[in-house]
Amino acid sequence: MAGYQALAAVGRSIVALLKLRFEEELPGLRRPSAVLVGTGDLGTVDTPGAAIQFPAVSVYCYRLSVDRETRAGWSAVAGADGVPRLPLRMHLLVSAWDGNVEFELEYLGLAVRVLESEPVLTGPLLHPSGQWRPGDSIQVVPDELALDSMSEAFQALTAEFRLCLPYVARVVLIEGRPAVEGERVATVLAEMAQKVTP
């Protein structure tokens, strides 16, 4: 379980893992940077001050959804301890950026290799800003996204279509504040009973 920073922490964790493995795989060679990007960054690629500078691999969260498979179970736990929890899935697009399409394909292949080799982020692989508890983990796996849906996503972004890999990070569990206990009703009722008694 994590605090409200968990979503950002998952993005940071994935980017940090990619950076680390890129450095190990391509020592001393031209290698891409890994960056977490937003919608605005996709329209300013490789311009002065832009987040995405060639060569790069970007991680873009285009959607959040509730994890239906685990929500009922966590609702039951919340009913018992009074702490609400919402399990979320982060839907990601991983893209490579370079002036050469062959390099882009290589970088995408390398990103797949990293994410498939280490699909579970736990312990030191989780960015500390997420306020993680011992045993917390995030699974990063390929997502099912139809070509039509991907094309529509890029049309909505007003960005040129980009070859990308859809991934989903699950389950990001956001923990709410514990329920506040109200005043004891039994005391009030006892006082009322004494007043009513003749």
For the stretch 153-163, pLDDT in tens is: 666 666 677 88
Number of domains in the chain: 1
Residue 162 located in a structural domain: yes
The answer as to whether 34 is a domain residue is yes
In a domain, 138, yes or no: yes
Report residue 138's pLDDT band, with 50, 70 and 90 as the boundaries.
very high
- pLDDT-based confidence at residue 71 (cuts at 50, 70, 90): confident
* pLDDT at residue 47, as a whole number: 93
Hey, how many other C-beta atoms are within 10 angstroms of the C-beta on 197?
A: 6
The average pLDDT across 175-189 equals 63
Within a 13 Å sphere around the CA of 125, how many CA atoms are in the beta-carbon half? Answer: 19
Q: Which structural domain, as residue segments, surrounds residue 73?
A: 6-196
- Residue 15 covered by a domain: yes
Backbone conformation region of residue 44, classed left if phi is above 0, alpha if psi is from -120 to 50, else beta: alpha
Kindly state whether residue 116 falls inside one of the protein's structural domains.
yes
Q: Give the span between the Cα atoms of 65 and 58, in whole angstroms.
A: 21
Q: pLDDT at residue 127 above 70? A: yes
**Quick one: 104 exposed, middle or buried, by C-beta within 10 A (0-12, 13-18, 19+)?**
buried
The mean per-residue pLDDT over the stretch 19-33 comes to 94
Q: Cα torsion for 149, 90, 19, 34, to the nearest 10°?
A: 40
pLDDT at 194: 57
Alpha-carbon separation of residue 47 from 83, 108, 122 (angstroms): 46, 22, 35
* 6 has a pLDDT exceeding 70: yes
pTM of the model as a whole: 0.84
Q: Are 53 and 32 in contact (CB under 8 A)?
A: no
Contact, 12 vs 128, CB < 8 A? Answer: no
Q: Is residue 76 part of a domain?
A: yes
Q: Would residue 176 count as lying in a domain?
A: yes
CA 103 – CA 11 distance, rounded (Å): 24
Q: What is the pLDDT of residue 184?
A: 53
- The Cα 28–Cα 49 span in angstroms is 25
Residue 59 lies in a domain: yes
